[in-house]
Amino acid sequence: MTRTLWLGLLLVALIAAPLAIYPVLLMSILCFVIFASSFNLLLGYAGLLCFGHAMFFGTAAYVAGYLLKTYGVSVEVALIAGTLLSAAMGYVVGIISVRRSGIQFAMITLAISQFVYFLLLQAEFTGGEDGMQRIPRSTLFGIFDVSDHMAFYYVTLTVAVLAVAFFYRVVHSPFGEILRAIRDNEPRVESLGFRPERYKILAMTLSAGLAGLAGALKAMVFQFATLTDVSWPISAEVILMTLLGGLGTLTGPMLGAGIVILMNDELAQFGEWALIAQGVILLLVIIFFRRGVVGELSALWRRLRPSPDQNQDRG
């Protein structure tokens, strides 16, 4: 009951937010909330550490941008196309990488993402080093004009809410239960008659699809797509968001996304010192707050309330 109330209040706050805060900053946070959730699905719930998650994000950004620029498709078509293409990519990457685990899986995904990076660098349609500029925000459903930031904020908010709801559903589904079991003890899952690699491939597909949705949305928010979106720093940033917010908690990585984006925004004025500050913060989190912000908070909450509450945010 109280949870519904809190969610309601959060939604109201999000609806009112652009009156007080610059909408583009808010939209940027929302894109990364989706992206961090997609990464959390893999690492937090399937135990797969993907070092190249930006490939799904950046490729979808280019694809959505290309469709909008060249064919003038409507907003939702570009979003769906970016999502599906990234999901297909995730499926292929899954087939290649999922038999390996731990650091091997991480290295294979990193290698593939570097390959994708150079492919997009060389490709004609991406604009190479210059990136893809002036992506138009066409109409929504072919009717509604969403070209101004305020209007597009509500599109972004709707997409983000749907994406988070989808993420929640996957995690709390029969499939999600098997996935968490695989994360905890893969050989045991196999001994119970499952083929773990099939579940991991599906998790890769779903996660990549969500990452693609985030990337396509981001291309529309900023109205450009660049090589940065596919690059290693973006892959690293989503890892930072997840660890900072709290690995394996439902909301942690979303909060982490917000913190990192706001931090980048604040620190931007210090130039390259921003990166150093980011590094120091990550270091502090790893040393002192192993469970991330949400993980530490819910641990504190549990300690303060002796009677355990079943509704807590648990992996």
Partner 1 sequence: MENSTATAGDYALEARGLSKSFGSFYAVKDVDLKVRRGTIHALIGPNGAGKTTCFNLLTKTLTPTAGQVIYEGRDITGLRTAQVAKLGLVRSFQISATFPHLTCLENVRVALQSNHGKSFRFWSPLSAIRSLDPRAVELLEQVGLADAAHLQATELSYGKKRALEIATTLALDPKVMLLDEPTAGMGHEDLEPITELIRQVSAGRTILIVEHNLSVVSSLCERITVLQHGELLTEGTYDEVSNNEDVITAYMGGVDAL
What is the binding site for partner 1 (CB under 8 A)? 169-170, 172-178, 180-181, 183-185, 187-195, 198-199, 202, 206, 248, 310, 315
* Nearest CA among 179, 232, 198 for reference residue 57: 232
The DSSP secondary-structure symbol of 225 reads B
- Residue 249: CB atoms within 10 A of its CB come to 25
Q: Which is nearer to partner 1, 148 or 177 (CB)?
A: 177
Given a contact cutoff of 8 angstroms between Cβ atoms, the answer to whether 29 and 262 are in contact is yes
Q: Least CB distance from residue 177 to partner 1, whole Å?
A: 6
Q: Least CB distance from residue 6 to partner 1, whole Å?
A: 20
Q: Which is nearer to partner 1, 178 or 208 (CB)?
A: 178
Q: Least CB distance from residue 239 to partner 1, whole Å?
A: 20
Q: Which is nearer to partner 1, 183 or 218 (CB)?
A: 183
Q: Least CB distance from residue 206 to partner 1, whole Å?
A: 6
Structure tokens at 66: 């290309």
Residue 73 φ/ψ, nearest 5 degrees: -65, 165
Q: How far is CA 59 from CA 1, 90, 118, 123, in A?
A: 41, 11, 12, 12
* Nearest CA among 100, 93, 56 for reference residue 229: 56
Q: Least CB distance from residue 198 to partner 1, whole Å?
A: 8
42/202 Cα distance (integer angstroms): 10
Report how many helices (DSSP H) and strands (DSSP E) the chain contains, helices first: 13, 2
Q: Which is nearer to partner 1, 206 or 261 (CB)?
A: 206
Q: Least CB distance from residue 309 to partner 1, whole Å?
A: 12
Cα 295–196–163 angle (5° rounding)? 50
Q: Which is nearer to partner 1, 210 or 244 (CB)?
A: 210
Q: How far is CA 186 from CA 8, 76, 280, in A?
A: 38, 38, 34
Q: Least CB distance from residue 106 to partner 1, whole Å?
A: 21
DSSP string for residues in 174-221? HHHHHHHHHHH-HHHHHHTT--HHHHHHHHHHHHHHHHHHHHHHHHHH
Q: Which is nearer to partner 1, 200 or 218 (CB)?
A: 200
Q: Least CB distance from residue 188 to partner 1, whole Å?
A: 4
Q: Which is nearer to partner 1, 133 or 312 (CB)?
A: 312
Cα 269–136–206 angle (5° rounding)? 80
Q: Which is nearer to partner 1, 208 or 260 (CB)?
A: 208
248/1 Cα distance (integer angstroms): 24
